[in-house]
Structure 1
């Protein structure tokens, strides 16, 4: 593809000299997976002194992938980020683009650059003179890093390679505890010779020690007993600058050791609970170091890695302890400090400056309801036609026509279809266009992203959505429905706050309105305000700039009969208009509202036989259609505009239309009648004791649901004592407990009662 993300520039941020063998191979696998050729990997690898041209091509051919977990371009972007690459670059229009397989994180998105190495003054280290005490050096190191019963591993044997460098020979000693070593070192404190304890070593090579305690059975990662420390080693800066940068970064260093050559070894406190956490913390540590100019040797990630032992000679220099316990006191303190320095929050602004600037408000998208770049939630129960309402809104914005009586500015809309298959979505849009009677003049203003079968959590969807949509300049992005992309429990306020933050990200990055729909909680909704009906955490009531809520109206039999009468009369009038329009002047104005009178006119206009045939074959489906019509009231809670009068609607598949006749204005919402009255009415209508019992149980459940939804806290919980106080009539706790036990909607939590998770079945 022409617009495929280019990984080659990212390789500049990943020096192969920093990588261990596994990471080096993984870069090759990622390049191969993404379609790059051997020459890219080969050219990049030549920067490393381990490069062997005779092996490269055969190694490339052997690179394979697991079908389940292939190494992709995401690995390269991850390694590049660790070394300072910024995954989001600004284009000429000021829009941001996301990197390969980015996802939204709720940690700081700062660049983590704290130190400018070019401005840091080096901090000298002072090598001990010949009167130094190697025993004291090693004792201090061991006491600083290990508990008495920790097994300490070290190596003094070495061998010289062809290039003249020395490397460790064998696994060394790993069966002595810190206490044993300290006791033995005490014996030779006056002689200052640690060789009597650790063994003789080659003074050209030096000696090594592992910084994490082992189990006394081996020296592999599996033998690491506690994941306390990680090694930070770098040789891209001078010794003095390495020392200064590590201190400027406030690294939580337990021991700082001069290696006797080109680097300082920092033994950093990470205090991980297990290997997985250790890996994550080391990756974070190395990322911070790399972004601040301290290019860390990536081969030192292993928790069983060897570091330089203080108290020995290495060539012309000493390996010695520079300092202990410097920087922040713990990993948690240091990480908090780093994150606090690198938040991406805006700066404080003076209100006086804003008064002078007089910043303009965002343009209106839906008059009296929503501005561009703001968020709107449409809530309602199943069968409210929420998806139809959103499609009607999509068409109204695209065509620049009113929606439910609210004027819409013409604009481009991206509709995220999470639920319907592609043909069904197309048919539904086409049916709505036809039912609205609107010629599709501006279809180019509607883009559909058919995501059924491809749903992913919103934090992963957000960067992909932004990257794809940023060139289109959409005025609105509509997500239907959100349960398909929901992350976390909808009753958890913290998780839902993180979830809805994604909508802010989309709105801010794209400059678009974000509109989404959600379902009502269980139980009667008539007694609640519009902002309290959405299921789950109260975050859904507080986060959007506009909440539009659909609640069903209780249509009486007489009103439905009236609608059948009017629908039948209109049907007859349409037939006359179509087949004998010359007869229309014979019809009186009031007759157009009467099915009986219009039947007479139909007979007069078309003849008895034709009129009877129409009545016999056409009116059955019409009557059924009216029976299936539902009535709804649209209410709003707005942040930017005054509250509007409720809008009453009929939903007659596939379209909502306004109640222009005003017949719905006096209807009460379903569930607005007090539960005890509804329960009594149901009880009086019951024909048997079982029916009466069921009616009472239903009434009790409605009382319980209403009280729970009213009293629920931000964690989605309610104490049973509060429930008893909040239910009408204030039954005792035992009674309420019995009602809960008889309900399948609630479960016990550590601090109260919570609703069981719902599976929303949207229409």
Structure 2
């Protein structure tokens, strides 16, 4: 867009008194380069009453002869932007999709329907009380106050001098209270035609410029182009946080507005915002009043026969923050309420399920669990299930494209994990093109910055789900703060709304045992995490005991034997009972009988890894808190790296969750009796004897080597076993008849 024809309008947003000398010169050069007249520069410069000199602009204008690098109109555009103007505040050529008559942001009131609010001078005129009240409201007793009662005349106008700034508010209040109603005896008499001025921000006692302001507390809002009653009405309807509202004694109100800025830069930004709101709501204010050291009309003074008086104090919102929050809230982009009667017979279609009976497309799901629960693997399993249209854990999934946002793993590890999970699931990767991975390890940014970047990249990809793993990498703020985490979670809503895709993310549990807590209370940080998503899937570890692990070890060995026999022996199970198939001892005996020596030795290579794999497993229970579907029964899982397998048999059904029992009871439940320990020891011995005696006679020495025990310990274990004895260092089965005969004698 070209701003050439609008430079004079842009100058309305630039206060010449706020510019350095070279900046003022640059404005003149830019105007001349753009084809304007010297009179345009001169008229604008008159607004700086303190530095303006007649004919100076015209003399300077003639010296602007152009250079190879001229100052152009862009300089004025940038200055206007620096002073709060932005292109969208002005008019623009309409696009095809522009809405005519759309409500502008920051508009609170309809200026066409504002009714004036009358302003009346006080009947009981007490000048000192007026000024003392003003000082008490705006200043601390120890703060220096700048004021002006002396003037000088130019072109028939009375202009203020620099005035005084060497007295504190406390001193002035004390002297005014002792003045018997004569303000002039304290501050000096002013010309009745001119009135007097006062600076509304405290000074350092060294001068009256912006750099002498010690606290950027207030800003001046003044309009002298509107009726006073309308000014009064708009100021009040805008609920400006006004500390003092003063009648100028002529045609304007001076609103001393709380801006409470911490620095000059913040002051400028807040004043720009304040003036923009005023302009958009029909209050045509004077842009020259932006400076924090600006003079305002002093209450309690007569001006050309009219009173400069306090109209009101402490009106509108109590603080700048409260007012700004209110302005932003009024100008939200929320939809209007609708009557359900209008849609009762034509309800909108529900979003289709993404995970059947659990999650809809376009909704949010949180997977929560402790460390080492395999949360990332579970999310990768979900990505693959959606890509292939397969079942995830216990639930069918819709098929479609999915984006996995990897924030934690390096690129190679992430890609290998996907391949490992595919292979462990045993699925053919027919739809790899449905999976996109965005690797951001070391490059992640806070979620409020990531969301727009993600939306931009995903807008044309037609993803039905986006997985963010893990969220602690992109959390903004304190995770224990409800309001900060609510704002953080709102970014997920933004992604869902913009893309129409489900957002799935994971978070960790808080420290300590979780078994005694509800699933919604286990996620670390604020409860917002658990209550914000449409679906909470919570993983909690099950407390496996030795007996259950022994059963699983037995099943694992039986499966190894069965698979090996099916591969090497035809019709091996013709005479095998169901009980034998479930007995480790029986299956090893059958294998020893049916396999040759080499085959049996080969089988042994698979037995020990199977035992170790059992002890490497962890068991988990999934609880769900659903917003759109009925609650599902708890699902029990084995995490057998790198995938989770549902316990369809029901082995884990009655296992307690970690932390569900008190420590004393937990220890008691897991405590082995002497009989249990003896049985385990003798069973282990029996297995070792069978393995060592396949090719040679088992000896004490060979058993000790196989079992990793001392020969002394092996001798003790054999002595306790009812079926074996040691004869000359060799392990022999006892003669059953002799054993029974000895038993009968005893």
Alpha-carbon shift at residue 659 of structure 1 (Å):
2.6
Alignment of 1:479-558 (within 5 A): 479-558=468-547
1:454 alignment partner in structure 2: 443
Moved more, 217-226 or 660-669: 217-226
TM alignment of 1:233-248, pairs within 5 A: 233=222, 244-248=233-237
Distance 1:299 1:453, change over 3 A: farther
Task: Tell me the distance in 1 between the aligned counterparts of 2:619 and 2:17.
Answer: 64
CA distance in 2, matches of 1:91, 1:464: 27
User: Where does residue 626 of structure 2 map in the other structure?
Assistant: 638
Higher radius of gyration, 1 or 2? 2
More displaced, 412-421 or 43-52? 43-52
User: 1:114 offset after TM fit, Å?
Assistant: 1.0
Query: Alpha carbons of 1:160 and 1:372: their partners in 2 closer, same or farther (altered >3 Å)?
Result: farther
List aligned pairs for 1:159-308, cutoff 5 A.
Answer: 170=162, 172-175=164-167, 177=169, 180=172, 197-198=187-188, 208-219=197-208, 224=213, 228-233=217-222, 244-256=233-245, 265-270=254-259, 282=271, 285-294=274-283, 300-308=289-297
* Aligned residue in 1 for 2:738: none
Q: Contact 1:139–1:182 (CA<8 Å) still a contact in 2?
A: no
Shift of 1:340: 5.9
Whole-angstrom distance in 1 between the partners of 2:98 and 2:398: 23
Aligned counterparts of 2:35 and 2:573: Cα–Cα separation in 1: 88
- Residues 1:654 and 2:634 aligned together: no
Contact 1:373 1:511 in 2 (8 A): yes
Whole-angstrom CA distance in 1 between matches of 2:35 and 2:236: 33
8 Å contact from structure 2 (residues 84, 273) kept in 1:
no
User: Partner of 1:114 in structure 2?
Assistant: 108
TM-score in terms of structure 2 length: 0.66
- Alignment coverage as a number of residue pairs: 628
Give 1:427 shift.
Answer: 1.8
Listed one character per residue, the Cα deviations across residues 560-584 of structure 1 (whole Å, up to 9, x for unaligned) are 4454455455556667888x7xx55
User: Structure 1's 657 and 510: CA in aligned 2 closer, same or farther, altered over 3 A?
Assistant: same
Relative distance call for 1:22 and 1:441 in structure 2 (3 A) is farther
Q: Of residues 370, 373, 380 in structure 1, which corresponds to 2:359?
A: 370
State the 1:608 CA deviation. Answer: 4.0
Please report how far the alpha carbon of residue 242 of structure 1 lies from its aligned counterpart in structure 2 after TM superposition: 5.0
Residue correspondence of structure 1 range 7-156 to structure 2 within 5 A: 15=10, 17-19=12-14, 49=44, 79=84, 111-118=105-112, 120=114, 145=138, 151-155=144-148
Q: Sort the Cα spacing of 1:278 and 1:584 in 2 relative to 1 into closer, same or farther, 3 A.
A: farther
CA-based RMSD:
5.7
Whole-Å separation in 1 of the counterparts to 2:2 and 2:488? 30
Gaps of 5+ in 2: 24-28, 46-56, 675-746
Q: CA deviation at 1:677?
A: 1.5
CA distance in 1, matches of 2:646, 2:35: 66
Give the distance between the partners of 1:259 and 1:448, measured in 2 at CA.
66
Instruction: Describe the SS at the equivalent of 2:365.
Output: strand
Contact 1:18 1:296 in 2 (8 A): no
> Deviations 1:431-474 (Å, cap 9, x if unpaired)?
22222233333333333333322334334444444454444443
Partner of 2:394: 405
Asked if the contact 2:379/2:467 (under 8 Å) is kept, the reply is yes
Distance 1:127 1:425, change over 3 A: same
Cα deviation digits, residues 364-419 of structure 1 (max 9, x gap):
11111111232222121111101110111112122221100201111332322221
Quick one: distance in 1 between partners of 2:432 and 2:95? 30
CA shift in 2, pair 1:212/1:404, >3 Å: same
C-alpha distance in structure 2 between counterparts of 1:93 and 1:445, whole Å: 36
Task: Tell me: CA distance 1:309–1:468, structure 2 relative to 1, closer, same or farther (3 Å).
Answer: farther
> 1: CA distance between counterparts of 2:460 and 2:287?
38
1:45 Cα shift?
13
Q: 1:133 to 1:364 in 2, by over 3 A?
A: same
Alignment CA distance shift 1:148-1:115 (3 Å): same
CA contact (8 A) 1:649 1:657 kept: yes
Contact 2:165 2:207 in 1 (8 A): no
Q: Distance in 1 between matches of 2:18 and 2:430?
A: 55
- Give the deviation of 1:245 after TM superposition: 3.3
Work out whether residues 534 and 628 of structure 2, in 8 Å CA contact, stay in contact via their aligned partners in 1.
yes
SS at match of 1:356: coil
For structure 1, which segment, 521-530 or 142-151, has the greater mean C-alpha deviation from structure 2 after superposition?
142-151
Change (3 A) 1:587 1:676: closer
Per-residue CA distance 1:334-354 (angstroms, 9 max, x = gap): 557546644555544444445
Normalising by structure 1, we get a TM-score of: 0.65
Q: Is contact 2:165–2:206 with CA below 8 Å preserved after alignment? A: no
Q: 1:384 aligns with which of 373, 376, 379?
A: 373
Note the C-alpha offset of 1:428: 1.4
| Equivalent residues of 1:83, 1:287 under 8 A apart | no
Look up the SS of the partner of 2:146 in the other structure: strand
- The SS at the match of 2:392 is coil
Match of 1:710 in 2: none
Indicate the residue corresponding to 1:628 in structure 2. 616
The Cα of 1:619 is off from its aligned counterpart by: 4.9
SS state of the match for residue 678, structure 1? helix
Larger RCO (CA under 8 A, 6+ residues apart): 1
Residues 641-669 of structure 1 show CA distances to partners (whole Å, capped at 9, x for unaligned) of 22222222221221112234443334333
Which digits, 9 at most, give the CA deviation of each residue in 1:574-605, with x for residues without a partner?
Answer: 67888x7xx55555586877777877898999
What per-residue deviation string (whole Å, max 9, x for no partner) do you get for residues 147-194 of structure 1?
777532124678899x9999876574443647648957997979x9x6
Contact 2:149-2:187 at 8 Å conserved across structures: no
